[in-house]
Amino acid sequence: MIDLRSDTVTRPSQEMRKAMYDAEVGDDVFKEDPTVNKLEEYAAELLGKEAALFVTSGVMGNQICLNVLSNPGDEVICERDAHIFNYESGSPAKLSGIQLLPVEGKNGVFTAQQVEPLIRPTSAYYMPRTKVIEVENTHNRASGAIWPIEKIIELKHLAKKYNLFYHLDGARIWNASVETGISVKEYASHFDTISCCLSKGLGAPVGSIIAGTKEFIQEAYRVRKSWGGGMRQAGILAAAGLYALKHNIYRLKEDHQKAKYLAQRIAAHPNLEIDPEAVQTNIILFKPLKLSVEEGIKRCKEEGLLLSVGKVDLIRAVTHLDVTMDDIRRAADIIDKVF
């Protein structure tokens, strides 16, 4: 089977497993796990933030950040297709009592001009308080689109003007960084808080990092514990995260090349619709014109290729470090045949 359902399906390499095996561990709830401490220091440095915290998942990372930045009844502005709006089980409402105000973006990107009129006047006591602007880079449901840095900066100025927090869902910020050459530190510098995943393109089995000021991370630490996310000898997992950060960022370029090749092959097919230019990183979304999404996915599976649903009428393929260029050529042949 060639598995292109997500970049989360990778298995730890031998070298990563060795790093996990060798990890020095302690009880992280006492902050005594040296490997977790090392990972958090390394990640804070890489992201240019005062402090970082190892959390179980991308969802936990985003939700802790939103919880710390807001109070019940507050509002968070995000994009219509944002992960926090579509794929986090309604957690902003459930865990933090906050509501999201989605903005219709273009390719996942929205503008300061769109957001400014949506910011609630602080004098209107009968309205929710606008508290956070959230950006997702790269944007999952926009085919892994990269946010232009000037748009990120524009929104930062707007957030500052209205005294709002600015959060980055940087689950795949590494992909944006290797593609644009803009460092993750530069991306992170524009935001108050950032959440980024170790378990997607970077190939670690578990874990995300959140980063911000020391004061923010102290609060985040409390929230993580209260949600049952306090881990003990988590150094075993942190070792995989450290390995991923040190060895697996630069190679993401290969995943992007594979995605571009696959997108070109799909674009050449008369029964499939895709804008190959929209594929900037490792996520491909395409529309089957003659088969339903479900039928297309089912038939590809029968031929040995696993795909997933991107949006209602779109199929998703994601490239990652466990598929070779040969696998991708074979995947393209299967898609040709099925559709």
Chain residues that interact with ligand TLP, rule: CB under 6 A: 6, 8, 57-59, 62, 83, 87, 136, 140, 169, 171, 197, 199, 208
Q: In this complex, which beta carbon is closest to ligand TLP, that of residue 119 or of residue 320?
A: 320
Minimum CB distance to ligand TLP, residue 65 (Å) = 11
CB of 208 to ligand TLP, least distance (A): 6
Nearest approach in angstroms of CB 188 to ligand TLP is 15
What is the SS3 assignment for 100? strand
**Closest C-alpha among 173, 210, 214, 212 to residue 191:** 212
Residue type for 203, please? G
| Residue closer to ligand TLP (CB basis): 6 or 271 | 6
Q: How far apart are CA 96 and CA 66, in angstroms?
A: 8
Q: Which is nearer to ligand TLP, 124 or 312 (CB)?
A: 312
Q: Angle, nearest 10°, between helix axes 252-267 and 173-180? A: 80
* Nearest distance, CB of residue 161 and ligand TLP, angstroms: 27
Smallest gap from Cβ 51 to ligand TLP, in A, equals 21
Q: Tally helices (H) and strands (E) across the chain.
A: 14, 13
Q: Which is nearer to ligand TLP, 32 or 306 (by Cβ)?
A: 306
28/136 with CB nearer ligand TLP:
136
**Of the candidates 248, 234, 159, the residue with the CA atom closest to the CA atom of residue 196:** 248
Residue with nearest beta carbon to ligand TLP: 58
- CA end-to-end distance (rounded Å), the chain: 18
* Cα–Cα distance measured from residue 72 to residue 283, given in angstroms and rounded to the nearest whole number: 34
